[in-house]
Structure 1
Amino acid sequence: MWYRQNRVGYICGSYARHGNIACTNHAISEKELAQVILNDIDWMYNKISDKKFLSDVKALEKKRVHLNQKELNLIDDEINSIKVKKRRYIEINGFTCEVQNHKTQVK
């Protein structure tokens, strides 16, 4: 949207740049645009002020926190499982190396 003083309002940006090839000539007056914006702000304020809306947002937040905590616990469990597997692998590998060293020393 581009402001045009001769129209005391805003016109379509595509129309302003490229003319009627790109878009039709449509405009909105500054007063009308201001009223639409004020109506939207008023609607949003009323929506946010609504107690049910706030309780819904809080419930959604609580649910997200719970899901995030659950996912974090799963990741922690997976990390611990990998650590256990790593220790076992090192123990088995270390034992195998010790047996091989012992066999070579015996010969």
Structure 2
Amino acid sequence: TLPPRDFMCARLAHLEDGCAQVEAGWADLQPPVLVIAGTADALLDSEREAQRLQRILGKERCAVHTVDGAGHAGTLDQRCELTSVLERWTKEAGIARALFGADQSNR
């Protein structure tokens, strides 16, 4: 059994390797992307990560929505009306009709 510090370092190395492999394919993503980030994330700097993803994917494909005062799982509490955020984003991204149907795309 590895000591806790060695275990965590090994896990972090695996995570970094996995992220590098996934990120290599991001430029090929075609669908629009919405990143929702909390401003009070104690686990990681979600706002900075959201901006980084937007730089990688491009502003034309990647929108960022920040939730003031939300932590890492900020969409799970009442800080964010997720349905409204998604409906607004799908309209702005031009995909509302495909997701919500013709009668819902003009809401």
TM-score normalised by the chain length of structure 2: 0.26
Structure with the larger helix share: 1
* Larger relative contact order, structure 1 or 2 (CA cutoff 8 Å, min sep 6): 2
Q: Which has more radius of gyration?
A: 1
